[in-house]
Homo-oligomer: A and B are copies of this chain.
Amino acid sequence: MTTDLQRIQGLPTWLIGRVAARGRGMVADAIAAEGLKLMHHAVLAATAEYGPVTQADLGRRLAVDPKDMVGILNHLQEQGLVLRAPDPFDRRKNAVTVTPEGAAVLSRCGTLAEAANAELLAPLTPDEREQLIALLNRLHKAPESLD
């Protein structure tokens, strides 16, 4: 007999949620050594990639609420990792850029995050890790054609 609980806990969404929560915690612990939270790390990386970029743009690319983006950038700015400068061509916008120190922190955090990922995937063989990533990529890229 299959119970309702087993029915739920055997569901892929439940399983994925559990693994995601654990991985999230592991990466968060890892990059905490650099004083960054998960989203701070992502925002910093996106800022580095897209050069001078507006907050609204960052929010859209990372699916972060504008309100939360304000707080994240405040924190990053207080740590001297990013700069907010008024855009001379559109005075509504802030042009966000990465400082040299921000780039250095970003580089170190990337390494820490990769180490945490390796630890999470430790039970799998290299082949299996590629399988997992490939499967997840198909589930991720399926709905959102533009990202």
Contacts and interface: CB of A to CB of B under 8 A. Distances in A.
A14 B117 CA distance: 9
A11 interface: yes
A27 B116 CA distance: 28
Contacts of A142: 122-123
A143 B22 contact: yes
A82 to B, nearest CB: 13
A113 B11 contact: yes
A116 B16 CA distance: 14
A132 to B, nearest CB: 5
Interface of A: 3-8, 10-13, 15-24, 26-27, 41-42, 44-46, 48-50, 106-107, 110, 113-114, 116-117, 120-124, 128-129, 131-133, 135-140, 142-143
- The 4 A-B residue pairs with the shortest CB-CB distance, nearest first, are A20-B20, A13-B23, A4-B45, A5-B49
